[in-house]
Structure 1
């Protein structure tokens, strides 16, 4: 089922992006902030000095990272809920097919099933997962 394949590809991309944003957020948390005494020129003249601009950019970047993380987690939520609601066997079949990128023949060997039974179970797993995904997607929206 093409839709399920696309959902798993999106899932992989979102997980990679989430890891990168979280790593970036951890690095940014360790930025040392220097407290400095402002000279009267800065206050009286109302000029923005480079140090002030750098700090504002760091804060904006940190805020955008937090927003991106929240957005990705919201995108992943219906997928993860649907994946956790299918049976263990269906989850294992879907993971083998779409996460491990195995062929139907390889899956049949892995689960010690005939090719026709594997195709049938995989199709039912895809249908059940997609139906649940659509349900959770509507609940989130």
Structure 2
């Protein structure tokens, strides 16, 4: 199998984003980091991913500035992976994927996890694009404009 070219020169923000975080393991690593995981062994145990694949995805996420490596809070030789400010900006992406999955991929009575606000214990309000005036937008209400170079 040949390795595909990275989309670093693609003018589409979606293509560049998917190239960086669009594979299963990268997104699940980011999800787990939001859930408080920090150590390689914890990611590996939770995801069940091969060590070499996990090491590669963690390396890519660190190189992209989404995760940073720091010494373990407990000391010793361990290091931890923590979300950077850039990585924290992926939270709405993870929430949107979660909410779409909850609504489209589970039966009405089928058990699944739920994201709730810690303070109230209530589920998050469904994310949706809104216009300047606060009105909900559908895809037909938007268009892509190419920015001048």
TM range (shorter): under 0.3
Larger RCO, structure (CA 8 Å, separation 6 or more): 1
Q: TM-score, normalised by structure 2?
A: 0.26
Q: TM-score, normalised by structure 1?
A: 0.27
User: Which of structures 1 and 2 has the bigger CA Rg?
Assistant: 1
Richer in helix (by share):
1
